[in-house]
Amino acid sequence: MSHTPTSTTPGNASGAAAKPTLTGVRIRQRKGQAKATAKFEPEVFRDSLLLHLALIPTPPTTDALVTKLVQAGTTLEFLKYSEQLFETLVVGGLLQPGGSYLDEKRSPFYSLQPTEGEAAEALGDWDPVKGIVETIQRVSQRYRYLQRPLEDSFLPDLLGYLGKWDLASRDKLASTVALLIIELQIAPKCLTSLAKDHVVKDEVALRFLTTFFRVYLSRQTIEHLGAVMRRSGLRDILSVFPVAIRDRAHLDAHFKNEGLPQIVDWYAKVALSEIKEETITAVARMIQDEDTNDQVVEYLKTQQTERPAPEADLCEWIFQGWMKAFDWSARADQLESNVVAFVNQVAPAAEPFASTAKAQIGILNAMQVYCYQDTRILKAFPQLVKVLYNADVVSDQAIIYWHQKGAKPNGKQHFLKVTEALVRFLEEQSDDEDDE
């Protein structure tokens, strides 16, 4: 077949040949492009999904529900309509911005479904909360792209609408969220929505979190829950308490009355950990700013009044603050003498808080562990003990007790050996005083 050369297009200054075109051929749009330009029709998706769910016999089973959803996933766009899929499964219908239902259409099976009266008869022994959680878990294993929108957008938005539902529905939602985090191991970032002012109002967030804790602890340990709360982004559970009762006394009373004393104990540890970090940082900063020992003591006394901590813990934190403030940039052969001189300078700030034997043993052990971990000042330990003794931070009896019974296992034999001479001297001195 011969080809006629293509003439130059008028107005084409470059003289380049025009691209050939195909006539009589239908160009098919790429699948991805077609999806991107398709209309967003959540109600059409919902209606199609309900047609699949309507085929499930009552009372339902989780196996039947999962089977139907997997079948529906072959024709319906679960990724594009993930929010509408979860709304149908969890709250039963589509939601408008703000959390109100879009219309009266409801799924025959959903997590917040009433379980009294006629609804209970239709459900039989099937538990909507547990059944829907297991359904979401199994469907998400089939369509793995569903977990990200569940934890990133759907649940955080949904918890922002808590005030729209009655107490029974909120309790079911709290149970659902707890089980989803346990069973699917989803990120618990949705819990940050509980700190929003309109959710905190009227103790809505507090009641939700209480139910969440109760369900979670029925399946997992308090340590597991603590790890989840650290990852949640909800920095302080006091933030879910209304402002008028946002204090430790109300927190302790609430969870004790709810039969959750382990939450009280856990929160006490969390609060103590926060005070620890603040104390260490503050002591280090004040020393680096060249504040006097009296100023450091004044700060610590104020803190003890506002947020009291055990003296034994406080003395350990003071020592850790010293080490954080110490200038470690000196030559290696000068570090030992420098750290002894430094502690001698700052030691008076610890004396007012080391009034008990437990506090004195605490600071000795903090120093022992630190020297064991940072071998650069390992040999300075006996001199550091002498410094604390001369500054009246630790007594002779505290040093003797530490040597006999109270030392930590970290390098214990080494530290006992290098302090033998000092302890022997203190014992002889104590015997001489007894004789007198």
Which tokens go with 62? 């989780």
Question: Which residues have C-beta within 8 Å of that of residue 312, sequence separation ≥ 6?
Answer: 356, 358, 359, 361, 362
Q: How far is CA 357 from the centre of its chain?
A: 36
> What is the C-alpha radius of gyration for the chain, rounded to an integer number of angstroms?
34
Do residues 366 and 399 touch, judged by C-beta distance below 8 A?
no
> What whole-number distance in Å separates Cα of residue 192 and Cα of residue 171?
17
Q: How far apart are CA 56 and CA 105, in angstroms?
A: 17
Note down pLDDT in tens along the chain; length 436 residues: 444 444 444 445 445 566 665 565 555 656 555 555 568 899 999 999 999 999 999 899 999 999 999 999 999 999 999 999 999 999 999 999 989 999 999 999 999 998 877 767 778 889 999 999 999 999 999 999 999 999 999 999 999 999 999 999 999 999 999 999 999 999 999 999 999 999 999 999 999 999 999 999 999 999 999 999 999 999 899 999 999 999 999 999 999 999 999 999 999 999 999 999 999 999 999 999 999 999 999 999 999 998 899 999 999 999 999 999 999 998 988 999 999 999 999 999 999 999 999 999 999 999 999 999 999 999 999 999 999 999 999 999 999 999 999 999 999 999 999 999 999 999 988 766 655 5
pLDDT of residue 9: 46
Q: Sort 419 into a burial class: Cβ within 10 Å, 0-12 / 13-18 / 19+.
A: buried
Closest to 60 in 3D by CA, of 117, 116, 130:
130
Q: Hey, what are 404's tokens? A: 């006999």
Per-residue model confidence (pLDDT) at position 235:
86
Asked if 192 and 228 touch (Cβ cutoff 8 Å), the reply is no
Contacts of 426 (CB under 8 A, 6+ apart): 396, 399, 400
pTM above 0.95, yes or no: no
Q: Which of 178, 157, 238 is CA-nearest to residue 205?
A: 238
Partners of 101 in the β-ladder: 95
As separate numbers, helices (DSSP H) first and strands (DSSP E) second, the chain gives 22, 0
**DSSP-derived secondary structure letter, 405:** I
CA atoms within 13 A on the CB side of 344: 12
Instruction: Count the neighbouring beta carbons within 10 Å of the beta carbon of residue 288.
Output: 12
